[in-house]
Each structure stands twice: as structure tokens, then as C-alpha cells.
Structure 1
Amino acid sequence: MNTFCGRANPTTGALDWVEEGEEYDYHQEIARSCYADMLHDRDRNEKYYQGIKAAVSRVKARGERVVVLDIGTGTGLLSMMAVTAGADFCYAVEMFKPMAEAAACIVKKNSFADKIKIINKHSTEVTVGPDGDMQEKANILVTELFDTELIGEGALPSYEHAHLHLMQVGCEAVPHRATVYAQLVESEQLWSWAQIQPIQVEGNTLLPPAAVTQCAGAPAVCDIQLSQVSPNAFTSLGPLCTMFSVDFSQPVSSASQSHSCTFVAKASGKAQVVLSWWDLDMDLSGSIVCTMAPSWTYPNPRDYPWRDHWMQSVYFLPSERSVCEGEELSLTVTHDDYSLWYSLSNRDQMDVAAPCCTCQAHLVWTRPRFGELNDRRRREFYLSALQSILTPDSVCLSVSDGSLLPIFAHMLGSKKVFSLENSGMSRRVIEQFLEANSLKNSVRMLEIRPEQLTSADLEGEQISVLMGEPYFSTSLLPWHSLLFWYCRTALNQLLRPGAAILPSSATLYFIAVEFKDLWRIRAPCGTCEGFDVSPMDEMVQRSLDFRESREAEPHPLWEYPCHALTKPVPVMTFDFQQCVPDQPISSHGSVPLTGRGRCHGVALWMEYNLTDDITVSMGLTEPVSEEGECVWSMHRKQGVYFFRDPWESSGDGRAAVSYSLTFQPHLGDIKMDFSVTQP
């Protein structure tokens, strides 16, 4: 049965009623899942297999029947490994129904249906007994319940329940142990994602509110591909610390705990950030180790096993603290049943409360947004553009979420400044900045939709400068920021004739690329470690085909290196001087593949023309090098359109990427199709 669901349109700002079938959410989750990435993770798969074989051998050596419980089985891969290694029977638990159905199909296709039972439940709902889901308790526990933070998927409560109700005493576990590591560092780049720094505007300083600088920040972990953060971007203040370990073969507690590591500072600096990752010992001997350590910890970085389903974590201390070389420090990690947090504490101070944002800025702004607001070069572009259009008579209206532009406009001498805010929380954050800098009445904050704004709200004035970054909290894909254009259109009657619009226009670009690793998340697997997992490929493909047309996905490409195979191509320009048109905007053409490599798809981004001679890119921030190296903005996600079948480019320019794009104003969406053609 189809139902109508109300969804906020990120581009138009309108509430759209969309007819969707019952399976919509299933298809969405499957299409965006990381199963392909996990199946392509050979390092993970091989070490799980080695650990499983060792555990099965030990149980058999004791003369016991080998019964395996696989919690979070996914495709059933680890269960099939267990049976292949000699297990007598395996109970494979999978909560997500479509995934459980796929696992059952894969297990049957590989002729293991008589030895593997798929249980479509959460493990805490599984029962044991003659009429239960399991006929007997298991003596080997195999799990893959981990996320970048190790415990964020509820690993500890699941292990706790399994040991109490589903496992035999003295059971084996694969993995056997997890160990969490951390390193205290100073990093201007990383700290810029957590705190707003003082801002210089025409010789004056805009100070961040004390409520923001003293706030412990957002509780959620910052998970990134730490391998793409250069070691030159931080200074290590101490050694790599072993914070704590969890032995999964013994009863596990999900109760909150704290662990400290005391060390001597090896350098002076500002303690700001903790870099963290973990290892899995697949066997009790500690000889089979699967590590999440970033590439720059390897003697040869080329040996680094790339993966996206597990990355590394960045934690921000509640406040920065100056430390001196030789000073004794104590780094404390505390965890509840789902998350970790760090603090730099006194030796006898163990229990530290979880971070909680009290200033609201860390709830309004994402961490990349903090970095964007702290970007001096980007800020200078906006200040220069504002200076070129503002006059003492300017009446300015800002349309963005939580933007500092209206404060800049006042500091640059505008007559009146108004700001439209999307939410009360966003408005209050900007009001804190105004109060902290004694500018309380300099900017009129309006929590109202653009189409509802009247001349009375503007104190009888007409707008002479309409400005935006544009930044909106609802935007995911590059063109979602065209919401600024729709706001400009709704405000048209309130604009003075010849009013300045900043930015004046935006251009959509694309470039064909070969990804170093990101291609794995969408690549079919076929077989994995000798097992046929093609039903998973088929299910993912059906989910991708569920929509009427193919779509781009948002990805922060600074974390995912790629090699350019074409030049950057401007394919569509949106003129903010004019209102949103009624008719679609289309663009068709082709660009030759002049780079050598495997073309996995195209990357898309927006560039905003603030004035005729000042442009801000949300994608490439430097020209593509002769070798095809791409440098991407760290502040915004770019769009990625994957080809179903990669294309081997010889670089002779004979093959080309053909494109067809249509912007549909009534939908606020861009329908797109890319393909590789050859003569």
C-alpha cells in the first residue's frame, strides 16, 4: 500500500507530499548501506576467518560439539566461514529484515542451509530451549557489532546479554579482545571544527561569546578518514596511550566506566584534541590483529587496509589547556553503553560527565560548518565582496542559517541590517554573538519565512542588499543551497530596483574521476573469500533501481582521494539576479576523457559568484594538477554520481563523458544522467 509522506524539500523549502510505497525506507537503507565496503575489506575478512578457524580448532580439541552464535550476521559471511572451518551448527542473528532475507538466500546458494539458521530478531530477543530460536547455548560467539567508536552500535549491551543468556560458560569469542588507543594533540585545523576563533573585520575584533568558548561541545563523535589529515596538521603532545581493553570471551558489563593513562608531555603546546582508534585481537594469542590505525602510523603507508565502515575518531576536549614539555598529564576516557568521551584530568579525578552542548552553537552548526566560519581565506572573500557593494545607505537582509554575514555588514557600516533565521535556536546563537560584542540592537533578527516577510517587518524599508553564504542546515547535496534563490524570489517585491544580490549567481561543475578507494562502497562483490554473495549485489541493485532515475550521493571528498580524468566542466548556471524561472533549465554535452585511469563516476559541486570577480568554490579549491590531483573543500560535501560499470580510460581523448542535466524549478531537483561514450 502506498502512503503520502510529508517531506521538507531542501532546495525549495516547501513541504512536499510524496507518494511512497511500504518498502521505500528498506530500499533507501539498503542502497546507502556499507555492505559492499565490508565485503571488499579483505584485511577484515581474512582476519575474521583466521580467528574463527583458531576458535573452532580449540573447541574441537576439547572434544566438544561446535555451536556458533553469529550476532549481526549481515550477509551471513562469518557464519559460512564458521561452518567451513568445521563448526557443527551456526545460529546467525540479523535484526534488519531485508538483510536477514538476503542472508538466508546467500546461505542457501552456498549450500549451508542445513547448518546455518537465520534468526530475524535483535539478539536480546533470542530465546534458547526446545521451543526457542536456539536449541542449545553456543560455545563460540562471533560478532561484528562495531562502529568507528567501537561501542556505538550497542556492542556492550549485546555482549552482556549474550553471555548471560545465549552462551556457555568458558566460551570462545571472535574477536577475542578490543583495545582502544588515544593520542593527545594540538591542531589548529582540527580545533577549528570545535570552537569559533576571534574574527578580524576592518581592524575590529568580533569575539565569540563566552557561552560558546566555555561549552563542552556536541556529544557525538567526529568520525573521519584520519589518514587524510596530514601529520603536519597536528603536534603530538604525548605518546600513543592504551586506554582500555574489553575481553569478549568473558562476561561483559555495559555499565559506565572511566580509564586513565598518565604520561609525561613530550612537547609544549595547547591540549585540544584527542585522536583515537582501536584494534581487534581475533585470537587469544594476540597474533591475529585487525587495526583501525591511520595510514601514517604504518612503516609503509601503502600497506594500509582502507575501509569506510570503520574509520578513526576525533574527540575535542571540553576546553583547550596549555601544557609544558615534561609536565605529567592524565588523559581520561569515560564510556557509557554507547559512546566515549575524553578529558584531561587530575590523577584522582576519574568520573567526568559526558559533554553536552549548553550554548546551542554546537547544535546549530556542524563541525565542518565551524571550520567554514573559521576559514580566514573564505572570510576575506566575503568581506571583500561586501565592501564592494555596501554603502552608508545600505539596507541589508541576510538569508542563511546561523550566518555571521549580517554582523559583518553592520561592522562595515550599513545603515540597517536584518537577518532571516530558519529556527529559534539559530537566531539565539547569533544573538549571543551580538550581545558578546555590544551589538545587541545592530541587527534585527527575524524568525519568519521569506514569503511571510512584509515591509512592516523591515521597518518600512526596501532591501538594497540581499545576501547569503548560502548555507542551510537542511542541505546535503550541492544544489540544495539553491534554497537561497527561492528565498530571493519570494522576497522580490521587497527589493529596491537594482538591489545588489550576493552571491549574484552560482555555477554547477562536474569532473570525471578515478577514486583511489571510494569506489568500493558501490562495487559489486560477486564472490567474497570464496563464497557467492551475489544475492546481496542483486538486492542493492534493485534498491538503486527503486527510484525513477539515478542520483548523486553526498560525500566529503577531501577524505576520499581521487584522480581527475577530465577537466572541470561548468554545466549549469543559476542567475540570482532573476527570479527562479517557471521553465526547466537543461544542459547537455560531452567532455573528452584526457586522463589515464579507471573512471568510476563524476564529482559535482557548486561555485558561488559573490561579485563579478570574487568566486567561492564549494568543491575544488585549487586548480587540478598536471598529474590529476584534486584538492577539495573540507567545509562542504560534494555530489558523487557512480557509474554502474567503471570505464578504463586510455587518456587519448577518444572516449568522452556525456551528460544530460535538467533542473526542474517546481521540484528544486536536478535530474541527471552521465555515461561514457566512444566513437
Structure 2
Amino acid sequence: MKVFCGRANPTTGAVEWLEEDENYDYHQEIARSCYADMLNDKDRNAKYFQGIRAAVGRVKERGERAVVLDIGTGTGLLSMMAVTAGADFCYAVEVFKPMADTAVKIVEKNGFSDKIKIINKHSTEVTVGPDGDMQSRANILITELFDTELIGEGALPSYEHAHRCLVQEGCEAVPHRATVYAQLVESKRMWSWNKLLPIHVRAEDGEKIIVSPPEMENCPGAPSVYDIQLNQVPLHDFAALSEVVTMFSVDFSKPVNRASAHYAVQLKPIKTGTAQVVLSWWDIDMDPAGSIKCTMAPYWVQAAFEDIPWRDHWMQCVYFLPNEEPVSQGQSVVLTAFRDDYSVWYKLQKGRNEEATTAIHEETPVCLCQAHLLWNRPRFGELNDRSRTTQYVHALEKVLKPNSVCLSISDGSLLPVLAHHLGAEEVFTLESSAISHSLMQKIFKANHLEDKIKIIEKHPELLISSDLEDRKVSLLIGEPFFSTSLLPWHNLYFWYARTAVSSHLTSDVTILPRSASLHMMVVEFKDLWRIRSPCGTCEGFDVHIMDEMIKNSLDFRESREAEPHPLWEYPCKSISDPLEVLLFDFQQAVPEHTLRKEGSLNLSRTGKSHGVVLWMEYHLAPGLSVSTGLVQVSGEKGFCQWTPHCKQAVYFFNTVTEPESLINNPSAVAYAVSFNPKTGEVIMDFKLKLM
């Protein structure tokens, strides 16, 4: 059966109908998931294997058969560890059919088919009994159901059901327990990811300040956690206001309750400051004694931070308090963690623990201002970036005239406010969604501009003259930022929008930005390459996993496409100089012909060529540009600094999955990059030229 699914093209804006059938190939989705990262996490795998061996040993010492239930088996790795450790039988549950099918092949290839049964169901649908999926309840429960927030993948409901229906009372569990930690901090940088801070604009008639609406000031923010690599955040970016405290623990060997709960901890600030953010992480004990521990603690908590294992499937959490709270050194406050089935949030209260714990559980925070629904965390940071705003102000000052009729096309941009303050005669802003319309109304009202900037809630192709009060646009502006964009070139939607409104522009219209360019550079990653590399498992345990994923339906082949990553979190160094590849001229409409460039990029530094990073630069006015990628390359080794507000595109070479000699010895990279204006796609091909 074939199914047609509608999808909006993020670059062109057109709705495309894609054909899918029951044999849809999921190999790319799996290849881009975190399986490679998890399988390559030697610390994780070694700790799991140690914990599983110990659990099987304890069961055997009691004279019992070791029957294992492995929930969320994925590749079947943990089940194979259990059988290797001496388990008599293992039920391995995997709900995702393509993954379950591959697990069957992996288990068979490694000779474990007689002791491992793959069950392609959600664990809550598994039955026990003579005619059930499991012949008997298990006495060892193995799981890997955790995300960065610990419970975000539904661990609690799965554990609750397993204890009620699938495992014996007093079963062994690997991991045995999890503990969540928190630290209260003040951080201007992190707080800029959550609130719109005042923006100062110097105009001819004095300084103007753009302020956020009251709804945003009092908004509890987005309900989702912001998970990042805290190990890439320097100490000068935050001030610790408390010691690290234990918030709560979950014992997985006992019945687990999914019901909402809260945990209050009294703490005395170690420093006077403004509490804004809670940094949080967890660790898991693989055994009851806590002697086998796997921790997510960031570098400033760990003694030997240079040996911290790198992981991308588990990171650390940034939680934003509902409001900034001043705290004084030594004066007690109470930090409360609330949780429901899938998420955690925090609140800070003054006073003693007894007073604070009388507070009843609060509902999950929900965004009230709509800004957190339209703008993600990096976008908040981008809007609060003073140097970036200054570039736009200087560019507007160069092109604005007293009689300028200005039209802004972006999602929830502050450029219309800047244009008005800098002297545009009339300002319109095109907002394509009800959310961006509503948000901009609130911002304009807070700045007393509701009667001075007109919001048009339409897609560009539907714009008519009366929307613009029969005026012609002499200045078309955009950042560009669109909430549907994932890859850097998706924001070329601005070009398509500019083309769609051409009939409403004056013959001598000024476009800001004037143009955009696509840039690329060959890099060596410190760690990110691991998500595409062949994987070992752990010391003393060797099975064939990746080769089976390569040969079967979950093909781990090179995608031949780029994928988005926030590279400020993933250190790398340049192997080549940056190169401008394509130029997009916004002064003209989108062309009908394909833009293409090919050539050879010499590698100027020694190192491992893991892939190519691509990004966009927007040229606002002569001498003024903003970048969505590279900020600078520093030092002889070529360490890269990236803008933290955008994701860059990463194209991994297939040599990441091949012998190191192919990675270490290229002399140049041959490239062919093209932009198809009909589809809005950037098509790329790279080949390493070996010495």
C-alpha cells in the first residue's frame, strides 16, 4: 500500500507530496540515530557488561536460572552480553520493527539465536504465560531507556509495567539505580537562551530600548529541557551559586511509580548572586553496592576531567528557573525538582525546607508568551547577540532613507522595530503563522509601536497591494530566519519570498541582505566523527554488529548528504582553508538554471580528514556581513570557533568508516556543489585525493 505524505519544502516553501509504502527504507534514519555513538561508548558498554555479569552471578549463587528481560534491546548488544555472562535465556524487546529485524540478524550471526528471543513489541504489550511472548517472568531486568533528562524516553512507565507484569519480585536490575544531581548557577549567557533581553539602539532622536512584553517576562518558558554538551561551556560563562546537590534517586530493582512527584532540597548558597539556571545530570549504578558507576557529570565536578568519556546520546541538562531570583551567601533556599512521566522542571523558594515542601505539586510549565514556541534556545541567543544586532543597525543606517517603505520577511524578527527606530517612513512585516503574528503584536505593543508597524499574516505569494496600503516597497529586509529551517541553506527561503513579492517592489528596491554565500571547510573532529564510525563494544566482549548493520536493512552506508550539528559543542580543527562555493544574488529573482561549482580544495594542515563543514554568510551591505558558521580559525593547529546561534551542516566522508590510512593521507578534496532552484536542494559530492 502506498501513502502520499505532504511536506512543506523548507527552502522553497512549496508543499511536496512524497510517496511512501510499507517497504519504506529506514536505513538513513537509523544511520543518523545515536546507535553508533552508543555502540562506540566504551565506558558505557564496559560498565553495562560488568553490571550484567555481576547480576547473573548473584542469581546463579542463589541456585536459580538466570532469565533476562532486556527492554529496548536495539542491536541486541546487552542481551548478547547477558548470554555471554551465563544467562540461561533472554527476552529482548524492541518496538521499532526495522531495528528488531536487524537485531534478529545480529543475534543469529553471533550464534545466540537459541538463547535470545527478539520480541517486536512495546514492552507494555508483552505477555507472559504458556501462549505468551515470555514463558515466565524474568529475574534479571536490563534496560537502556534513558535520555539526557533520564526519564524523557518513557523509562518510568516502562519500569512500572515491567515490575507489575514481566519480572519477579526482588529481581536484579541493570542498572540498579539512577541518581539525579543539580547545581544552581548564575549565567548571563545561558539566561540569554531563555528571555529577550533589552536591546539598545542609538537613533538620531536619541537612544531607543527594545523591551520584551510582560507575558514574556513572566513566562515559565518551554516545557522541554535544553540538553547540551556542558563540557564545552567554559567556567567563565557561569558562576556556581551552590554546591552540587542530590535531587532524587530511582531504584530500578523495586516497583517504580510513574505518578508525578516533587523533591525539595535545602541548600545554602556559596556565593551571592542571581539564580537563573539549574544545571543537572545523572549517574547510574550498575550494581547495588554502587561500585560500577557510569556518570554524566561535567568536567568541573570530576577530578580527572581529561579522561571524561565523550558521549552524544547522553549529555547534560540546562533548566531555566521561571524567574531570576536573588540569593545571598549562607542564607538558605529550597530547590525543588518536579517531575511527571517524561519531564523534569525546577523551582527555587526562599525559606526553610519545611515551609517549601508544603507547596503542592505544580503542573508542567507551559509557554504563555508564545516566544518559546516560535524561537528555539539558539534563536533567543541570536536575538540577544549585541554584536550581531549592531551589524544590522549599521547596515540599515547605510540603506534607509526618510521616505523608505520597508517590508520585513522573517519569522518573528526584530528588524521591523530597528527599521522604524532608524527612521523608515512606513514599516510592514510579513508573518506566515498565527504564532509569529501574535508574538510580534505583543512585542510591538510593549514598545508602543502597535500603530506604527503593520503585521501581515500571509505567505509571500498571497500578498496583494492593499496589504501594503497600495504602496511599493523600496526596502526589503530579512535576517533571514525561518523556524522550519534545519540546514543552513534552508533560510534561502528569503530568496523565494523575495521573488514571490517582486511585483510589489520598486524598480530601484534595496534588498537587505544583498546576497548570501555558501562556504565550506575540511575539518578533523575531536569526537563527533564517532557517530559515523565502526564500533567496538567493550574489553573482553567482541561481537559483530556494525558489519551486520551495513549488510542488512539498517544500512550504515554514507548518506551522501549533510546533516545539522551545533559545532560550538563539538571541537574540531581546520584541515583546509575556508572556501566560498556558491553565491546567491538576492538583487535578482531566483534563477531557473542550476548554480554549480566544482574544483579541488587543497589540504593545508596535517590531520584526519573526517568531513566537510558547510555554512552560510549573509552580506547585508558593503563591508557588513553576518555568518551562520565559522567565526575564526586560531593557532597553528587551526582550532575552529563557530557561532553558537546556528547549526552548521556536516558532510562526513565515508573514510570515517574505513582504514585510518585513507583518512590520514589525502592531499586535496575534489568537490562538486550545486543548487537546484526548482527543489531548493544543495547537492554535493566530495572525493578525497590521496597522496
Same fold by TM (over 0.5)? yes
More deviation, 81-90/12-21: 12-21
Kindly state the Cα deviation for residue 540 of structure 1 after the two structures are TM-superposed.
7.1
Per-residue CA distance 1:102-126 (angstroms, 9 max, x = gap)? 1111111111111111111111111
CA contact (8 A) 1:183 1:240 kept: yes
| CA shift in 2, pair 1:22/1:415, >3 Å | same
Match of 1:282 among 283, 286, 308: 286
Kindly state the Cα deviation for residue 31 of structure 1 after the two structures are TM-superposed.
2.6
1:665 aligns with 2:677: yes
| CA shift in 2, pair 1:397/1:117, >3 Å | same
Match of 1:577 in 2: 587
CA contact (8 A) 2:40 2:537 kept: no
Match of 1:621 in 2: 631
Match of 2:612 among 594, 599, 602: 602
Q: Gaps spanning 5+ residues in structure 1: where?
A: none
What is the distance in 2 between the residues matched to 1:584 and 1:128? 60
What is the distance in 2 between the residues matched to 1:481 and 1:649? 38
Match of 1:537 in 2: 550
CA contact (8 A) 1:596 1:650 kept: no
Match of 1:435 in 2: 445
What is the distance in 1 between the residues matched to 2:640 and 2:398? 31
Secondary structure at 1:232 match in 2: helix
Q: Gaps spanning 5+ residues in structure 2: where?
A: none
CA contact (8 A) 1:181 1:278 kept: yes
What is the distance in 2 between the residues matched to 1:101 and 1:245? 35
Match of 1:405 among 412, 415, 430: 415
What is the distance in 2 between the residues matched to 1:431 and 1:649? 58
Secondary structure at 2:448 match in 1: coil
Q: Letter of the aligned partner of 1:73 in structure 2?
A: T
Match of 1:253 in 2: 257
Match of 2:310 in 1: 306
Secondary structure at 2:464 match in 1: coil
Match of 2:428 in 1: 418
Kindly state the Cα deviation for residue 24 of structure 1 after the two structures are TM-superposed.
3.5
Match of 2:224 among 220, 225, 234: 220
Match of 1:393 among 381, 396, 403: 403
1:179 aligns with 2:183: no
What is the distance in 1 between the residues matched to 2:23 and 2:478? 38
What is the distance in 1 between the residues matched to 2:42 and 2:102? 21
Match of 1:336 among 333, 340, 352: 340
CA contact (8 A) 2:609 2:664 kept: no
What is the distance in 2 between the residues matched to 1:635 and 1:544? 30
Per-residue CA distance 1:37-84 (angstroms, 9 max, x = gap)? 000000000000000111111111111111111111111111111111
Kindly state the Cα deviation for residue 674 of structure 1 after the two structures are TM-superposed.
1.1
| CA shift in 2, pair 1:613/1:474, >3 Å | same
1:523 aligns with 2:536: no
Secondary structure at 1:315 match in 2: strand
Match of 1:345 in 2: 349
Per-residue CA distance 1:558-602 (angstroms, 9 max, x = gap)? 111111100001000000011100000001011111211111110
What is the distance in 2 between the residues matched to 1:239 and 1:353? 27
1:468 aligns with 2:457: no
Kindly state the Cα deviation for residue 4 of structure 1 after the two structures are TM-superposed.
2.9
What is the distance in 1 between the residues matched to 2:640 and 2:260? 44
| CA shift in 2, pair 1:258/1:527, >3 Å | closer
CA contact (8 A) 2:221 2:366 kept: yes
Kindly state the Cα deviation for residue 677 of structure 1 after the two structures are TM-superposed.
1.0
Kindly state the Cα deviation for residue 622 of structure 1 after the two structures are TM-superposed.
2.2
CA contact (8 A) 1:620 1:632 kept: yes
Kindly state the Cα deviation for residue 625 of structure 1 after the two structures are TM-superposed.
3.5
CA contact (8 A) 1:273 1:315 kept: yes
1:230 aligns with 2:234: yes
Q: Letter of the aligned partner of 1:214 in structure 2?
A: N
Per-residue CA distance 1:77-110 (angstroms, 9 max, x = gap)? 1111111111111111111111111111111111
What is the distance in 1 between the residues matched to 2:372 and 2:508? 38
The normalised TM-score by structure 1 is 0.97
CA contact (8 A) 1:420 1:445 kept: yes
Percent identity over the alignment is 59
Secondary structure at 2:608 match in 1: strand
The residue correspondences of 1:206-217 to structure 2 (distance < 5 A) are 206-217=210-221
| CA shift in 2, pair 1:651/1:641, >3 Å | closer
More deviation, 15-24/90-99: 15-24
Aligned alpha-carbon RMSD (Å):
1.7
| CA shift in 2, pair 1:543/1:525, >3 Å | closer
1:642 aligns with 2:652: yes
CA contact (8 A) 1:582 1:665 kept: yes
Q: Letter of the aligned partner of 2:80 in structure 1?
A: M
Per-residue CA distance 1:278-297 (angstroms, 9 max, x = gap)? 00000001110000112332
Match of 2:138 in 1: 138
Q: Letter of the aligned partner of 1:390 in structure 2?
A: L
Per-residue CA distance 1:14-55 (angstroms, 9 max, x = gap)? 111233343447334313211110000000000000001111
CA contact (8 A) 2:41 2:537 kept: no
Kindly state the Cα deviation for residue 526 of structure 1 after the two structures are TM-superposed.
6.7
Secondary structure at 2:609 match in 1: strand
1:60 aligns with 2:50: no
| CA shift in 2, pair 1:258/1:553, >3 Å | same
Secondary structure at 2:653 match in 1: strand
What is the distance in 2 between the residues matched to 1:54 and 1:370? 47
Match of 1:4 in 2: 4
Per-residue CA distance 1:451-507 (angstroms, 9 max, x = gap)? 121222111111110000000001000100100000111111211122110000001
Match of 2:109 in 1: 109
CA contact (8 A) 2:609 2:663 kept: no
What is the distance in 2 between the residues matched to 1:130 and 1:161? 20
Kindly state the Cα deviation for residue 624 of structure 1 after the two structures are TM-superposed.
4.4
